[in-house]
Structure formats: C-alpha cells, structure tokens
Amino acid sequence: MPPNRRQPPTVRLRRLAAELRRLRQEAGLSQEDVAEKTNVNNVTLYRIETAKTKPQLRTLIALLDAYGATESERDSLIALQKEAKQRGWLHSFEADLPDQYTALISLEAEAQQAINYESLFIPGLLQTEDYVRAMIRGVRPAATDSEVETRVTARMQRQALLEGETPLRLWAILDQAALCRKVGGDAVMRDQFAHLIRQAQRPHVTIQVIPFSAGAHPGMPGSFIVLKFPSDDPDVIYIDSMAGDLFLEEKADIQRYNSICEHLRAIALSPNDTTALIASLREDH
C-alpha cells in the first residue's frame, strides 16, 4: 500500500480509542500524567487514542487501572481489544485482494447503513454474478481467470450483508448512464435489471436513478460510499478512483459528502419511478 494511503482502523478499534480517551478525561488525567503513572509514553498513548494502533493487552490493563475503570467497562474494552482487527470471512481473501478493498469490506461489515452513489456501474452490493464477472474482465483486461474469480467470489460474499435478521440498510443512487452501459450483453443486463427490481422491493434497500434529464449534478466527478455506524462512531467515506482507493474521515469531508447525498436524492427519480424505468430498460434488452 502506498505510504500516503493509510488503511483505516476498524470500527471496534475506533470505539476502543474513543472510550479510552473518555476514561482518561473523566479521570482528570493529562497524557503526561498517564505516562508517569503507567510508563506508557506520550507517543504510544497518542497513537492508541487516535486509533492508529491497537494497545497490547498489558498496556490496556495498565491504562484501565490508572483510569479507575469499572468492572463492566474493563470487560467491555478488553473484549473490544480482542476483536479490534477481526475481519471474519475476509481472512481467506486478504492475500489476493488490494489492501484498500479489504479495508472497505471490513468497515462495510460493521456498518449499519451504506449510501452508495455510482456514476458508471451498478452498485457492487446489487450486482449479479454474471455482471460482476463481465465488469471485472472489462475493467481489468490483464487479470488472470483466477484473479477474476477471486474478485467475483469476494463480491458475492459481500452481498450477504443484505441478508439475515439485521441486514445492512442500503441506499443506492446511480446515474442513468450506469443502466445504459451494456456490460456482458443483453442477457446479462436483462438479468441484472430483474435483480435490481427484486432488490428494490426489500424494506432495507432503496434504489434511485438520476435521469439524464437532471443535467449536471454533484455526483458526476465520481463514485463514493458513505458508511454509517451504530452508536456515535463517525461516518467513513470511501472513494474508488483510477488513482487508487481513498478513505476520508475528517468531519468537513463527512459533512460535504452527506450534503452531496441529500442533493442527489432530491434530484433523482423516486424509488417507484426508478423501478418503472428499470423495468422499461429491461424490456428494451
């Protein structure tokens, strides 16, 4: 991974950092005070409190002792420490997928809601297997069959987030251009459109299309995903571009992209009109 593209921490690690920072402040201790009481130096404490590193268990226990944490707080934070880099099913794919893509998958798995805007592709969580395969072969013409199938399998595994008792809430917004680009041929697109119509009927999935008639709009520069998490964990913005994948976590960036989302939802067709448009395009194929 390039040195200027730090892989973001998992949500658990961010939550652990925030809780440790809160406990220190409530105990009325400065970072210098903590260094004197625990021998954890200022640099290490800063990195722990900003989720740049996971504390070792003995370091965590020393901090909790210094802060006078309650038994329930200790149990909760020790559990977070153990789970801070948990990646579930993704573990078997990490050697074969780019770091930033595995980071997206990890964060996505912990999110409560995703708002995905796409200008040229069907959103990844809504793609059919045949569409994924044709898309990857088109975008990555030098990829081997094995590399293609690894990415296809990972994409289909991601879609399990839309299943289960507490599925990810997905709000997908796409430019009409993504529907009009024929990926894989007529049969693939017909199946893809039918899949979108089925998914749009699910209570936790909302799909809107920005029609060509809307003219220029804020989403035209490129695609992005806004990931929203439970509790007070801040949003994370994921941007996929030709220059590489990028994560934004600064408050100003989060506000800007949430504002763009509101604008795009306002100019897009309603979910019902979107379904009607997709059905019409399916007939054309």
Q: What is the pLDDT of residues 217-260, one digit of tens each?
A: 999 999 999 999 887 778 999 998 776 678 888 889 999 999 99
> Are 214 and 119 a contacting pair, CB within 8 Å?
no
> Are 108 and 123 a contacting pair, CB within 8 Å?
no
Which has the closest alpha carbon to 35: 53, 49, 54, 51? 49
> What distance in Å separates the CA atoms of residue 276 and residue 133, rounded to the nearest whole number?
26
> Are 26 and 34 a contacting pair, CB within 8 Å?
no
For residue 277, give the amino acid letter: L
Kindly state the tokens that stand for 137: 């072969």
> What is the domain class of 91-284 according to CATH?
alpha beta
> What is the domain class of 11-83 according to CATH?
mainly alpha
Query: Is the dihedral angle over the CA atoms 18, 19, 25, 26 positive or is it negative?
Result: positive
Q: What is the pLDDT of residues 26-74, one digit of tens each?
A: 999 999 999 899 989 989 999 898 888 889 999 999 999 999 999 989 9
Average pLDDT, the chain: 89
| pLDDT (0 to 100) of residue 51 | 82
Cα three-residue angle 200-202-204, rounded to 5 degrees: 105
Q: What is the pLDDT of residues 130-147, one digit of tens each?
A: 999 999 999 999 999 999
Q: What is the pLDDT of residues 199-214, one digit of tens each?
A: 999 999 999 999 999 9
Residue 170 burial by CB count (10 A; 0-12/13-18/19+): exposed, middle or buried? buried
Q: What is the pLDDT of residues 80-112, one digit of tens each?
A: 788 765 555 445 555 566 666 777 887 888 899
| pLDDT (0 to 100) of residue 4 | 42
For the chain, which residues make up each domain, given as ranges?
A: 11-83, 91-284
> What distance in Å separates the CA atoms of residue 187 and residue 209, rounded to the nearest whole number?
21
DSSP state of 144: -
pTM of the model: 0.76
